[in-house]
Amino acid sequence: MYPELGQIALILALLLAVLLSVVPLAGALTGRDSLQAFARPLASGMFVFTGLAFAILTHAFIVDDFSVAYVANNSNSMLPWFYKFSAVWGGHEGSLLLWILMLTGWTLAVAVFSRKLPSTMVSQVLSVMGMVCVGFFLFIIVTSNPFDRLLPNVPTDGQDLNPLLQDIGLIIHPPMLYMGYVGFSVAFAFALAALINGRLDAAWARWSRPWTTIAWSFLTIGIALGSWWAYYELGWGGWWFWDPVENASLLPWLSGTALMHSLAVTEKRGVFKSWTVLLAIVTFALSLLGAFLVRSGVLTSVHAFASDPERGSFLLMLLGITVVGSLALYAFRAPVVHVRSRYGSLSREIFLLLNNVLLVTATLLVAIGTLYPLVLDYLDMGKLSIGEPFFNTTFSPLAIAAGLLLGTGIFSRWKKTDGGWLGRKLLWPLAVSLVASVAVIKMYGDFKPWAFAGVFTAIWVTVATLWDLWDKSSSRKGRLHGLKRQTRSYWGMVLGHLGVAMVMAGATVVSNYGIERDVRMVPGDSAMVGDYQILFKEIGDRRGANFTAQYGSFDVLLDGKKVSELHPEKRNYPVGMSVMTEADIDAGLFRDIFVAIGERISDEAWAIRVQYKPLVRWLWLGSLIMAIGGFLAIADKRYRIKARNEAADKARAGNLVTGKHAEASS
C-alpha cells in the first residue's frame, strides 16, 4: 500500500513541477501578479510531495519490505539500521530520488530566501527550476521507478547492500555531492532568468553569488569525502584515481570555481557579464554530464549501478535540451550587454580573467581525457584508456600556474595596478616563500623539481594570503580591531585560499614523498616503511553483524617505541559472496601509517601492503577549510541587507571604485 502512495506522491510532484515551470513564467512575461503569486506555493508543494515519497521509500527499507524491488536489491534483513537508512540512496533509483529531493529543496530555499527580490525575477528563477525538476521527475517516473514491486513472488530476504557502500563515508558522501551538483541549478536558473528579462547587472550577480558559493562548498565537501572514502575503503591507499566518475565531479567543481570568481568581478565591477552567464550554463551542464556519465552505463565503476541504455538516452536528451535551449537563449540575449567600466592591462580584473582561463583550460583537459575514450568507443574506433599520467602531466602545471597567479593577484587592485609597485610589494613575500619551501623540501628528502614547484606554490599562496590579511588589518585602534573590521566574505576568501594551499601541499608531498610497499609477511615478521617499523603480530578470525573476517594485529614502532596498534581485516560477506579489504590507518596531522591485508600466499604467509603517507590528511582538511570559507562568505551581511535598492547599490559600487578598501574578490 505505502509504495503505491509513494508513486502517487511523485506523480503529483511532477504535476506541480509542470505548473511551476509554466504559470509563474507566464505571469512574469504578461505582468500578472496573480499568476506570479503561484510560484512559492507550488515550490513548497513540490518539495512536500517529494519528501513524502522519500519518507515512504525510507520506511520500506526500515521495515524490510522486500516486495519493493529496489529494497530487495539493495538491502538485507541482517543489515544494521543505519546502513538500511543509507541504502535508500545506495542504488540508482534511490539516489535519483535523493537528487530530486535536493533539487526541490533548493527550489524551496530559493522561494523562501528571495523575499526581497523583485517578484518577476523570483517567478522566472522558480519557473526555470521547475523545468529542471520536470526533467528529473519524468526521468525517475519513466525509467527508474524506486517503487516497482516484486509481486507475487516476494523474496524472503534482500540481496544486501554492496559491502563497499557499507560505510560512514558513504552515508554522507552522496548527499553532499548532490547538494553541490544540484545547487548549481540555482545559479543556472538565475542566469536564464537574467537572460529572459535582459537584466544582467551587478544586482543579478549579487543574488546568484551566495547560491553559487554554497553549492560549490557542498560539492567541495562531497568530492573530498569521496576521496577520503576511496582512500580507506577501496583498501589500497590511493586518494585520487582520475577515474571518469571522479572526473565527472571535478568538472563542475572546476568550472564552478571559475564561476565564483567571475561572479565576483561582475558584482564588483560590472564586467565579464556574458562570460559569467556562459559559465553558469556550462557549470550546470557539466553537473548534468556528470549525472549522465555515472548513470547511463557508459562508464563502469563502483558508482555505475546496474544501468540500462534507456536511462542513458533519456539523460542525454535532458542534457541536450538544457544545453541547446540555454545556449540558444544565450545567443539571442547575451549581446545586449553594454560594458560601462574599464580596467587596465594590469589589474585585479585581469588576474581573475587569467584565473578563469586556467580553470577553464583545466576543465577542458579533464573533459578531453574523460570523454575521448568514450567517444572513440562509441564510434567503434577502438578501445583505449587514458591513464593517470595524462592527467598528472597536464593538470599539475595548470594548478601550479593558477597558484602562482593567485598569490600575485591577491596584492593587485581593481581597475589599475602599478607594475613597479606590485613588483616591490611581491619581493618580500617571494623571498619568505622561497626560503620556507627550501626548508620543507630539505626536511622531506630528495630535491625533485615538481615537488619543489608544488610546495613553493602552496607556501606562496599561504604567505601572500596572510601578508594581505596583515596589511588590511592594520588599524590605528590596534590589530584586533583591524581584524574584526574585515568582512565575512573577506574571511571566506582567506580560508578558501588557505584551503587550496593545504590541498596543494598535501597532494604534492604525499605523491612525491609517500612510500608504498607490498611485502610478504608471516606473523612475527616486521617491515620498514620510512622511519616506521611495522610488526606483524598475529592473524585470527572475527565475526561481524553480517560478515566474517580475518583479523590482523600489527604494531607500529618508531625508534623501537610503540606508536600504535593496527587491525586491518579481510571481510567476507556471505549474502553477496563478496570479499572486502578493510585497511587500518594510524592517522596523524603530518603522516598516516596504512596497513592492509592482501591475499594469503601460503599457509602462514600473507601479502601485506604497508604505506607511509605524509600530509595526506591535508587534502581533506584543506577541502573542508575551503568549504567553511564558502559558508562564511555567504554569511556576509551585504547579502541580507538591502538587496533591492538599486540606488544604494550604485552608491556602494562608487565607493568601491575609489579603492579605499578593495575587499574580497571571492
Which SS3 state, helix, strand or coil, does residue 569 take?
Answer: strand
Q: Which amino acid is at 235?
A: G
CB of 426 to another protein, least distance (A): 20
555 bridge partner residues:
535, 565
Between residues 301 and 655, which has the closer beta carbon with respect to another protein? 301
579 bridge partner residues:
572
CB of 163 to another protein, least distance (A): 8
CB of 14 to another protein, least distance (A): 29
Q: What is the DSSP string of 580-619?
A: EEE-EEE--SSEEEEEEEEEE-SSS-EEEEEEEEETHHHH
CB of 86 to another protein, least distance (A): 17
Between residues 55 and 364, which has the closer beta carbon with respect to another protein? 364
Between residues 73 and 433, which has the closer beta carbon with respect to another protein? 73
Q: Return residues touching another protein (CB under 8 A).
A: 162, 164, 235-236, 300-302, 306, 342-345, 350, 353-354, 357-358, 361, 364-365, 368, 372, 382-387, 389-390, 393-394, 397, 518-520, 570, 576-581, 596, 598-599, 601-602, 605, 607, 609
Other beta carbons within 10 angstroms of residue 637's beta carbon come to 9
Between residues 93 and 468, which has the closer beta carbon with respect to another protein? 93
Between residues 289 and 580, which has the closer beta carbon with respect to another protein? 580
Between residues 138 and 575, which has the closer beta carbon with respect to another protein? 575
Place of cell 591485508: 597
CB of 361 to another protein, least distance (A): 5
Between residues 118 and 576, which has the closer beta carbon with respect to another protein? 576
* DSSP label of 638: G
CB of 422 to another protein, least distance (A): 16
CB of 529 to another protein, least distance (A): 15
Closest by CA to 172, choosing from 620, 633, 500, 629, is 620
CB of 605 to another protein, least distance (A): 7
Between residues 172 and 354, which has the closer beta carbon with respect to another protein? 354
Closest by CA to 117, choosing from 129, 125, 128, is 125
Between residues 339 and 651, which has the closer beta carbon with respect to another protein? 339
Task: Name every residue whose Cβ is closer than 8 Å to that of residue 619 and which is 6 or more positions away in sequence.
Answer: 224, 227, 239, 502, 503, 506, 507, 510
Which SS3 state, helix, strand or coil, does residue 215 take?
Answer: helix
CB of 107 to another protein, least distance (A): 34
CB of 576 to another protein, least distance (A): 6
Q: Rounded to the nearest 5°, which phi and psi values hold at 437?
A: -70, -40
Cell numbers at 318, concatenated: 535532458
Between residues 393 and 475, which has the closer beta carbon with respect to another protein? 393
- Distance of alpha carbon 130 from alpha carbon 165, whole angstroms: 32
CB of 397 to another protein, least distance (A): 7
CB of 390 to another protein, least distance (A): 4
Termini Cα distance of the chain: 51
CB of 609 to another protein, least distance (A): 6
Between residues 169 and 576, which has the closer beta carbon with respect to another protein? 576
Between residues 390 and 631, which has the closer beta carbon with respect to another protein? 390
Please give, one letter per residue, the 3-state secondary structure of 99-146: HHHHHHHHHHHHHHHCCCCCHHHHHHHHHHHHHHHHHHHHHHHHHCCC
Place of cell 594581505: 468
Cell numbers at 357, concatenated: 582561463
Q: Is 602 left (phi over 0), alpha (psi -120 to 50) or beta?
A: beta
| Mutual angle of helices 244-269 and 273-295, in 10-degree steps | 160
- Distance of alpha carbon 614 from alpha carbon 513, whole angstroms: 7
Between residues 163 and 492, which has the closer beta carbon with respect to another protein? 163
Which SS3 state, helix, strand or coil, does residue 307 take?
Answer: coil
Closest by CA to 232, choosing from 592, 516, 599, is 592
For residues 622 and 502, is the Cβ–Cβ distance under 8 A? yes
For residues 90 and 165, is the Cβ–Cβ distance under 8 A? yes
